Chains A and B, each alone.
Chain A
Amino acid sequence: MELWYSEKHTENVELSIRVNRQLYSAQSEFQRIDVFESPEFGRFLTLDGFMMLTERDEFIYHEMMAHVPLAVHPDPKTILVIGAGDGGVLRELGKYPGIERMDLVEIDPQVVAVCKEFLPQTACGFDDPRVRVYHQDGLKFVRACADEYDLIIVDSTDPFGPGEGLFTKEFYGNCFKALKADGLMINQHESPFYEADALAMKRAHARIVKSFPISRVYQAHIPTYPSGHWLFGFSSKKYHPIRDLKSAQWKALGIQTRYYNTNLHRGAFYLPNYVESILKECEDDE
């Protein structure tokens, strides 16, 4: 018997992963949640059938979401994480002693419960005493905040389904309002390669550009995401992602990483021509 998990990356492309067994499957109030165990990628979590993370490659995504802004912001103390019910971003943030408070807003409590049970590799992030968890709509949560956070990390699902509200202009605008005068926002920015993903990425970028004075995009290589080429948004009220990078200060923290380093930080902001031209298109429309 062969058991495979398959995800359509486009109508004509699929990624398939051989599965040893299914550990969990349930429909929550918001989405279908599944956890599988595979020989190649270890355990992995899917929501509505879409790959969220695997034990094997999650470090890339989570390190790039957490360390890039924290090597730029000189003194981040309060951080808001939206989505990220697996705890991976929290685990990376937990490595910084200077952080005082990490608020996590995940709409679906069942995702957190499932990750705590089956994915301790990332869910260990919830053990940090500085973490406060809120189960509510991210859009609603930020609406009530003003001038409160140094950093907001938006670890959303795709813009179809529960994460849809996190790709809107009203959400980015509310994040701007929730940030302090030198605050930063990092967001999952989809992929430039396949047409449907590229469209989502363009729409997101066009909306962010309107909301923040500095909005740049950086990239990473994530094997289990469509095309493997993934983008992140770096939006900022004050700090520039490269000019304000504090390499020496970051290195002095002695944080262990497997993917991120400060040379790669700079390099990640240098994008392929075709991606640059897509982004420029959005910016010119402004």
Chain B
Amino acid sequence: MDQHRAPVHEALQTFKTMRVVPFDVPGHKRGKGNPELLDFLGEKCLAVDVNSMKPLDNLCHPTGVIREAELLAADAFGAADAFFMVGGTTSSVQAMILSAVARNDKIILPRNVHRSVINALILCGATPVYINPQTHEQLGISLGMRLEDVKQTVLQNPDAKAILINNPTYYGICSNLAEITALAHAHGMLVLADEAHGTHFYFGENLPLSAMAAGADMAAVSMHKSGGSLTQSSLLLCGTGVNSAYVRQVINLAQTTSGSYLLMASLDISRRNLALHGRQTFNAVTRLTDYARTEINQIGDYYAYGSDLINGDSIFNFDVTKLSVNTLNVGLAGIEVYDLLRDEYDIQIEFGDLGNFLAYISLGDNQKNIERLISALSEIRRIYKKDKASLMKHEYINPQVLMPPQQAFYAPKRSVALEDSVGSVCCDFVMCYPPGIPILAPGERVTGDIVDYIRYAKEKGCSLTGSEDMAVNRLNIWKEGD
């Protein structure tokens, strides 16, 4: 296929020259009805904030330029089919899971999944079977799934319908995608990849294997992260093993009928750019990140890790475009460095946890800004260095799933104080950042260990989110007997 084409973009360009008189929505009518918004976003932007119409196709039932653009995307990513998504990669992940499993089906997944995965289980009623993602002792970050653990879990749960894999994690860690895919397929299970942080795997050189190349069945790809498209735009990719017409039906269950052409055009233009220039782009990103890693490691005390972490199993591969840095020997938490960079040096990075921070390096970066980041880190060490900080212990707590998340979420429940919840079935979701791993999902038993961990995490300054009581002093538990 001709990857120089961008059908949605081209159709919008043509549409602008037609000077069509709008008696349809949106009511701002190319911005004329909202001068302040027009002034803020500009005419170029509002002129293409338009509604579905014949020459521009319709995202819910695409037969024209959107369909052409989706097929070009499928071709570029080596997929059998692709869908333009406008509800973020959360919508891609949810559509992927809702397509693969139904009520009471089992799905195997690492515990460090994105919250959108567990929310999808609440929507569809499937039962999760979790795998311990291992924790790196020195860095305190969760890793990938060990092949042996996946094997065990598959043998113990031969009735599972699918396996979900993070490719890669937020920190850039990859599991053995090819072997896990082969194993899953040998047992008749679908392979779903959360590639929210892996768009570039499809285009760069010497990067970890992409899901489609590994033969996975579906992948949720955050084009708006490393792919360069607008925030909230995403792709859902399908392999040959899934019925993509059914996937489209599932997507339409929750997708807007007013898909934004700004988002769709951004997907179209970005896909073209990636297909034509992706290799050079990500080679440049890799060079910048490698340079930054070397320089940061020379400052002293900081540990910018990379391929040196690879252990052939729970860290099968590492995404070298990720600039993840451990800060414990500087005596500062990652989150402290994150705050200092923003408050003192006008530098905003992606996130900081207790022992690490991540600076996101992308196709929009240049050498000049990298020098600023490195120099600021050097200054932070010179001015703020303290004694080595002790690492918070992240003991992995094996979740006891007593009922599917959906059943627990909708069950009759009552709110109790945290300490009174031990032994009961949790109806809330409790997420802990760092390390970005769910502590409790609906349907799981609250144990003494879990309550202790929640208290400990709070003391250590972790952010706990997801439960109805936002301070997590109380939990909703299953009201037995009702």
Contact = CB atoms under 8 A, between A and B. Distances in A.
Interface residues of B, number: 14
A109 interface: no
Contact of B378 (A162, A164, A174): A174
A140 B382 CA distance: 16
Nearest to A171: B375
A169 B379 contact: yes
Contacts of B368: 137, 162, 164-165
B345 interface: yes
Given A137-B367, A173-B383, A168 B378 contact: no
Contacts of A168: 345-346, 372, 375-376
Given A174-B378, A174-B379, A177-B382, A169 B344 contact: yes
B375 A139 contact: yes
Interface string A96-126: 0000000000000000000000000000000
Given A162-B368, A164-B368, A170 B382 contact: no
Interface in B361-387: 367-368, 371-372, 374-376, 378-379, 382-383
A179 B175 CA distance: 48
Contacts of A143: 371, 374-375, 378
A139 B371 CA distance: 7
Give the dominant DSSP class at B's interface: helix
Contacts of A170: 345, 372, 375-376, 378-379
| Most chain A beta-carbon neighbours within 10 Å: one of B367, B368, B383 | B368
A177 B345 CA distance: 17
Contacts of B376: 168-170
Contacts of A165: 368, 371-372, 375
Nearest to A140: B371
A139 B378 contact: no
| Most chain A beta-carbon neighbours within 10 Å: one of B344, B345, B372, B383 | B372
Contacts of A174: 375, 378-379
A143 to B, nearest CB: 5
A107 to B, nearest CB: 9
Contacts of B367: 137
Interface string B296-339: 00000000000000000000000000000000000000000000
B291 to A, nearest CB: 10
B432 to A, nearest CB: 33
Interface in A202-230: none
Contacts of B374: 140, 143
Interface string A142-186: 010000000000000000001011001111011001000000000
Nearest to A164: B368
Nearest to B341: A170
A85 B315 CA distance: 48
A137 B376 CA distance: 15
B467 to A, nearest CB: 40
Given A143-B378, A177-B382, A169 B371 contact: no
Contacts of B372: 139, 165, 168, 170
A173 B371 contact: no
Nearest to B369: A165
Interface string B233-262: 000000000000000000000000000000
Contacts of A177: 379, 382
Nearest to B373: A170
A251 B382 CA distance: 39
Nearest to A137: B371
A155 B372 CA distance: 18
Contacts of B379: 169-170, 173-174, 177
| Most chain B beta-carbon neighbours within 10 Å: one of A164, A169, A174 | A169
A169 B345 contact: yes
B49 to A, nearest CB: 29
B367 to A, nearest CB: 7
B465 to A, nearest CB: 33
A165 B371 CA distance: 8
A136 to B, nearest CB: 10
A139 B383 CA distance: 17
Contacts of B345: 168-170
A173 B380 CA distance: 10
Interface in B352-368: 367-368
Contacts of B346: 168-169
A164 B370 CA distance: 12
Interface string B405-433: 00000000000000000000000000000
A139 B344 CA distance: 17
A170 to B, nearest CB: 4
Interface string A7-24: 000000000000000000
B292 to A, nearest CB: 11
Given A169-B346, A170-B379, A174-B375, 4 more contacts: A140-B371, A143-B374, A165-B368, A174-B378
18 contacts: A137-B368, A137-B371, A139-B371, A140-B375, A162-B368, A164-B368, A165-B368, A165-B371, A165-B372, A165-B375, A168-B375, A169-B379, A170-B345, A171-B375, A173-B383, A174-B379, A177-B379, A177-B382
Pairs of residues from A and B, 9 with the lowest C-beta to C-beta distance, nearest first:
A170-B375, A170-B376, A173-B379, A139-B371, A170-B379, A139-B375, A143-B375, A140-B371, A137-B371
